[in-house]
Amino acid sequence: MAEEKVRLGIIGLGAMGTDMIEAASGHRDVKVTVAADVSPETVARHAHRAGIEFSTVPADVLESDVDAVYIATPPVFHPELVLAAAAKGMGVFCEKPLAVDLADSRAMLDAVEKAGVAAAVNFALSDRWAVLEVERALRSGELGEPAGVEIRLRFPEWPRAFQRHAAWLDGREQGGFVREVFSHFAYLTDRLLGPLEPVSVGLDYADGGRAEKAAHGLWRAGGVPVQLTGLAGVAAEETYEWYLWGTRRSYLLRDWARLYVSDGGDWEPVPAPERRGNDATRLALFARAVRGERVADLADFAAAYRVQEVVEAFHR
């Protein structure tokens, strides 16, 4: 007999929440039963979806009969919502960053651990096939010794077009590409090489209280040097590149899912399998965690807290 679907509530129906509600549509392991956003206009755009109760009051989701909640609000609201969900024994699937204050994030981590609930953070690279392939090559020794990591980010506009309506992403309090994008690659580096120990980090801010226009950072992870260069508002193609340089073989992850390998010559594409990793596959992993299974390839709150320590060091 098939297991009952995990009943999921969603709080926040912006770009991320909309993607997740789409990923959950027809999902074999998860059923969204209730969703909320403080914007009546946003809620109205989703009202056509059958089988889901919609509200403009986030607390309605927390008071509903669900097994878990997915939280996709701006990050300043994450702590209150996560703590409330954990107190009710609900599983928590949270967008990153955990919060913008490290004390809040520590309280969130402590709360989910004390409650013993399933808790994960939606780092998009956690179950991507490309990441699993690099991890395999690293652990097997095919890569040789890791010699360095480079992260290169370029944005012709910030916020990006699909998030332009989210004004908070262009503010210093919660926004910027370091929190929103670099955090994914900090997670990846932490996962493969170990915690990032800072050497030097810095930001150049845009005018008028806006988020950063440039970021640079140097770290060591497991003794391996790591560097970031990031620019926003530049005449360049939107660029997401993560390089892992090895003594025998090197890898380039470009645009989240395109993987290339080099043995010292040209970059050669690595063929992608059918299962590549996405919101739907991470929902399946989260559903297993809610049912009490131990799952790999899903970022936990402890990993997210380490990433936030790295990210918030830019803002001190």
Q: Flag whether the pTM goes above 0.85.
A: yes
Q: How large is the average pLDDT for residues 4-29?
A: 97
On whether residue 307 sits in a domain, the answer given is no
The string of pLDDT tens digits covering residues 203-218 is 999 998 899 999 999 9
The reported pLDDT for the residue numbered 2 is: 55
For residue range 86-115, list pLDDT tens digits in order: 999 999 999 999 999 999 999 999 999 999
Q: Is 257 part of a structural domain of the chain? A: yes
Q: Would you say residue 310 lies in a domain? A: no
Return the closest-CA partner of residue 281 out of 134, 132, 126, 130.
126
Confidence of residue 199 (pLDDT cuts 50, 70, 90): very high
- Evaluate whether residue 1 is within a structural domain: no
Report pLDDT for 135.
98
Judged against a pLDDT cut of 70, whether residue 83 lies above it is answered with: yes
pLDDT digits (tens, 9 = 90+) for 19-39: 999 999 999 999 999 999 999
Asked whether residue 306 is domain-assigned, the answer is no
Contact 217, 224 (CB under 8 A): no
Between CA 216 and CA 105 the distance in angstroms is: 24
CATH of the domain at 30: 3.40.50.720
Average pLDDT over residues 297-308: 98
Mean pLDDT of 165-191: 94
Residues 153 and 189 in one domain: yes
Predicted confidence (pLDDT) per residue in 240-280, tens digit: 999 999 999 999 999 999 999 999 999 999 998 877 899 99
46-78 residue pLDDT tens: 999 999 999 999 999 999 999 999 999 999 999
Q: Are 119 and 300 in contact (CB under 8 A)?
A: yes
Report residue 162 CA to chain centroid gap.
16
- Ordered DSSP codes for 178-220: IIIIIHHHHHHHHHHH-PEEEEEEEEEEPSTTB-EEEEEEEEE
In CATH, what number is assigned to the domain containing residue 229?
3.30.360.10
CB atoms within 10 A of CB 173: 13
**Three-state secondary structure call for residue 274:** coil
Question: Would you place residue 1 in the very low, low, confident or very high pLDDT band (cuts 50, 70, 90)?
Answer: very low
Examine the domain organization and report whether 12 and 134 are in the same domain: no
Indicate if 10 and 51 belong to the same structural domain: yes
The pLDDT-based confidence of 163 (bands split at 50, 70, 90) is confident
User: Do 159 and 253 fall within a single domain?
Assistant: yes
CA distances from 294 to 88, 273, 300 (A): 21, 24, 11
Decide if pLDDT at 3 tops 90: no
Nearest Cα residue to 155 out of 201, 206, 112: 206
Contact by Cβ (8 Å): 242, 149: yes
Examine the domain organization and report whether 161 and 259 are in the same domain. yes
What is the predicted pLDDT for the residue at 260? 99
Q: Which domain covers residue 189, as residue numbers?
A: 129-276
Q: What is the rounded CA–CA span in Å between residue 75 and residue 77?
A: 5
Q: What is the mean pLDDT of the chain?
A: 96
pLDDT value, residue 275: 77
